[in-house]
Amino acid sequence: MSLFLPKTPTVLSVSELNRHAKAVLEQTFPLLWVGGEISNFTRATSGHWYFTLKDGQAQVRCAMFRHKSQYVDFRPENGMHVEVRALVTLYEARGEYQLSVESMRRAGLGALFEAFEKLKAKLAAEGLFEETRKQALPVFPRCIGIVTSPAAAALRDVLTTLRRRMPNIPVVLYPTPVQGEGAGQKIAQALQLADSRNECDVLILCRGGGSIEDLWAFNEEVVARAIAASSIPVISGVGHETDITIADFVADRRAPTPTAAAELATPHRADLHQRLDALHARLSRQTSRSLEQRMQQLDYLARRLVHPGTRIEAQLQHLNHLRQRQQQAASRALEQQEWRVQRLASRLARSAPAPQLLQAQQQQLGQRLELAMGQLLQHRQATLQRLAASLQHLNPEAVLERGFSMVRSASGKLVRSSADIALHEELSITFAHGSANASVTRKEEAT
């Protein structure tokens, strides 16, 4: 307590005391299993469960909240013996010690589950669950054996299914108790009897649903080994789809229900009729195609089977045809050679010299040359005269002939304006014929 109480003496409030007490309980006790009888069971509107767990000397309050209680697979009732996995705690508001329940199971199931898992691990280690040792079911069984109780409702379901699917298959019943003291040993004996008599092609081991205690005979080792030792394929159809037994793991096939086991054991009559119809149609199609191919082959052989005289006549016609083709080929080759010879002769004739023709061509070329030279000289003379006239117009002496003159300054620069000379400046005047010097005595500016 010194770990939770203050080091210095003080007065605790009730809530502080309860909080420390809760801490002590939760840290002292681990998550554990507690067994007892349910009383004062209450299901709140929130989905939480509240009840008392008691035995002959004491009781303890329990609370199981909705997110945990929804996984319980049975309905708890007052007087029911259960085992709960819970955490010891304290409800601080009222200072009440209680169990906070995590999970719940019927009393005694823990030992059953432990025995189930132990046997399952043992048989699995021996290889009894391996697929390689399991036998295939016959496609068309001649006889079906049923190992179950004559009073079991599952037997009626199996017989009804077999009658509906394949009513012509005989059925042999190997009666045995499927529940209660010694049921496992008797089920194994029934399996051994069916195996020794060897009158069936497949065995159906079945019973209806129930609690784990009701189905426990199918979890016994003697039954598992009898199934494994059977030379006849065994179908296990025990309980409902959610029920799993050791027999299911050892059996050659596991069916979720007895009815499903009967369906696995037999082909459906309607399916067989449908399959036969499909095979008949397929055989008819293949037969028709084969006959058509044979008829086509017969027609082909008939066309190939001809009279010897007809074949000789056809060969003669073929030879005549080949002779005609050879003559035509020879004629075409001769024509081609003649045409080639004519073409070479023509080329040779064109290549031979002709003196008279060459002399005529030479004279004609001389005349054409003289004519071309005369025309060229005339063209050159006309061009020269045109250029001379153009030069004559540009000659400054021709301008002087018309009465004009050129005035140059003393430096020899051509005078174009009175602004270019000064008074008393000596000027040189050139006329069409001769020249003179002059002095500037007066000048007028251009306006």
Tens-place pLDDT, residues 211-236: 777 888 999 999 999 999 999 999 99
In this structure, of 2-6, 104-108, 136-140, 426-430, the range with the lowest mean pLDDT score is 2-6
Tell me: pLDDT of 6 over 60. Answer: no
Q: What is the mean pLDDT of residues 256-273?
A: 85
What pLDDT is recorded for position 141? 92
Q: How far is CA 161 from the centre of its chain?
A: 42
**pLDDT tens across 18-57, in order?**
888 888 888 888 889 898 988 899 998 888 999 999 988 8
Report if pTM > 0.75: no
Tell me: pLDDT of 139 over 80. Answer: yes
**For residues 80 and 58, what is the distance between their CA atoms, to the nearest angstrom?**
16
* Nearest residue to 263 via CA among 195, 132, 153, 169: 169
What pLDDT is recorded for position 1? 45
**For residues 282 and 173, what is the distance between their CA atoms, to the nearest angstrom?**
40
Tell me: pLDDT of 140 over 50. Answer: yes
The CATH superfamily label for domain 14-107 reads Nucleic acid-binding proteins (2.40.50.140)
Cα→Cα distances 315→318, 325, 338, Å: 5, 15, 35
Contact 293, 277 (CB under 8 A): no
Give domain limits for the chain.
14-107, 115-271, 400-439
Q: In which band, very low, low, confident or very high, does the pLDDT at 402 lie, cut at 50, 70 and 90?
A: confident
Tell me: pLDDT of 5 over 70. Answer: no
The two structure tokens encoding residue 29: 């006790």
Q: What is the mean pLDDT of residues 263-268?
A: 86
Q: What is the mean pLDDT of residues 5-28?
A: 80
The CATH superfamily label for domain 115-271 reads Hypothetical protein af1403; domain 2 (3.40.50.10550)
